[in-house]
Chains A and B, each alone.
Chain A
Amino acid sequence: MTAFTADRKNTDLKHDSGAVGYSSNALKLFMEHLRQGPETKLLDVGPVCQENIRFFASRVKRLYVCDMFIRLGRCIRKGSPVDQIWDELDYPPQSFDGILLWELADRLDDPDVKRLVTLCHTLLRSGGMAMVVVLGDQSGSSAANTFVVGQNFRVHLRPQRHLHLPLHRRQNRDVLSMMAPFIPAQSFICRPGFMEFLFRRE
């Protein structure tokens, strides 16, 4: 079992034209893992954007996108129970080599996070990886963002103004606890206050 390490030096935060941007080492490792298989299947739970679809679809065999942010937003707007969104992740068990959760957990309360994590654990193949981002205390904005991936794993945050979602800020320990069924693999701190995590299914 691999232990869990943090790498504080290796995040390169820059502000490009006012937008928050950084080089994502977690994503780089995540993609390196996916590239090890010829028939890789990746699930991205959104928010979906065309840059990411192009980026990931050109690097994996099959890209599955299911925008859970927009589904969550619709549920909240209609006043419907949030737990009905989980019916959308109706893929067969052990379907994926990787799941990109981005900051979805930060938009959910604890029972729904537990449901999400259990689902992801079921959907990932043995050895598969999940990437999680949490906004943490220091990130200024509570707006939902798309983590738009560019060349050389540069990521910039694009606010999704149509999404009005709650924010449950979580700390490092909370993340480790909520992702308990997984093996923590690697984490990175990004200067705006958010953290990137990689978890692996045994």
Chain B
Amino acid sequence: MLKKNRKATAEPPPPPNPVAVNQKTVIGDQISIEGAIRGQEDLLIEGSVKGSIEVKAHRLTVGVKGQVEAEILAANVTVSGKLSGNINATGKVEITKEADFNGEIKARSISVQDGAYLKAVIEMEREPLKGISPLGKPEEKTFSDPIKEPIILAEKGTKGN
């Protein structure tokens, strides 16, 4: 037993990897920053930030306690807190149900959980323009066609089909 323990403690821990793959900076909930933030690693904001944030090749996360008012440039962005400003993301923007977002989003893809408090302008890659197939039968009218007579769908107090 003793021998076994000695053997276990004798092995030195592996040296720290000089390239920290999952390195992340955290701005805690007691921190308030005003100005420009630029970085080369992931950033988690739980505090308050006002200004601009640029983590071009990395992920920005606005945590549930985070309050951010900024222009954002990042690879991927996750919003769970309060964010007011414009997001320009080369990858994905995720808005969780805890989020309160007001601003503009330009991204390759976007996901939004039901319940998110959202007021946004969204620009994504558009589908190439193609014709929409006509409704069921060719003789059916569309709003641009001249229509013969109006039809009342259901009288008040009666039940339709």
* Residues in chain A within 8 A of chain B (CB atoms): 2-10, 25, 28-29, 31-33, 35, 46-50, 53-54, 57-67, 70-71, 74, 88, 129, 136-138, 146, 158, 160, 162, 171-174, 184-187, 189, 191, 193, 195, 198, 200
Q: How far is the CA of A121 from the CA of B145 in the complex (A)?
A: 23
> What are 16 A-B interface contacts by the 8 Å CB criterion?
A2-B147, A3-B150, A10-B135, A54-B109, A59-B127, A61-B123, A61-B126, A65-B122, A74-B117, A136-B154, A160-B115, A172-B153, A172-B160, A186-B143, A189-B154, A189-B161
* Measured CA separation A61–B125 after assembly (Å): 9
CB-based contact A136/B126 at 8 Å: no
Q: How far is B151's CA from A7's CA once the two chains are assembled, in angstroms?
A: 9
Which one of A5, A50, A65, A146 lies within 8 Å of B111 (CB-CB)?
Answer: A50
Bound Cα distance from A60 to B26, whole angstroms: 37
Is there contact, CB below 8 Å, between B121 and A195?
Answer: no
**Contact at B114–A62, with CB atoms within 8 Å?**
no
CB distance from B122 to the nearest CB of A (A): 4
Partner of B142, one of A29, A47, A64, A172: A29
Known: A5-B150, A6-B151, A173-B152. A48 touches B118 (CB 8 A): yes
Q: Is B113 an interface residue when CB atoms closer than 8 A count as contact? A: yes
Tell me the minimal C-beta distance from A48 to chain B in angstroms: 5
Are B114 and A158 in touch, CB under 8 angstroms?
yes
Contact B152 A138 (CB under 8 A): no
Q: Is there contact, CB below 8 Å, between B153 and A3?
A: no
Residue B27 interfacial (CB < 8 Å):
no
Indicate if the CB atoms of A35 and B114 lie closer than 8 Å: no
Contacts of A62 in B (CB 8 A): 121-123
| In the complex, B21 has a CB within 8 A of chain A | no
Nearest A residue (CB) for B100 = A70
Main secondary structure of the interface of B (DSSP, over half): loop
Contact at A5–B135, with CB atoms within 8 Å? no
Query: Is the pair B122, A53 in contact by a Cβ cutoff of 8 Å?
Result: yes
Contacts of A129 in B (CB 8 A): 143
Contacts of B126 in A (CB 8 A): 58-61
B94 to chain A: closest residue by CB = A50
Interface positions, chain B 108-138, Cβ under 8 Å from A, are 109-127, 129, 132, 135-137
Say how far A183's CB is from chain B's closest CB, in angstroms. 9
Is the C-beta of B6 less than 8 angstroms from some C-beta in chain A? Answer: no
Chain A: which residue is nearest B112 at the CB level? A50
B38 within 8 A of A: no
A186 touching B150 by the CB < 8 A rule?
A: no
Asked if residues B119 and A65 are in contact (CB atoms below 8 Å), the reply is yes
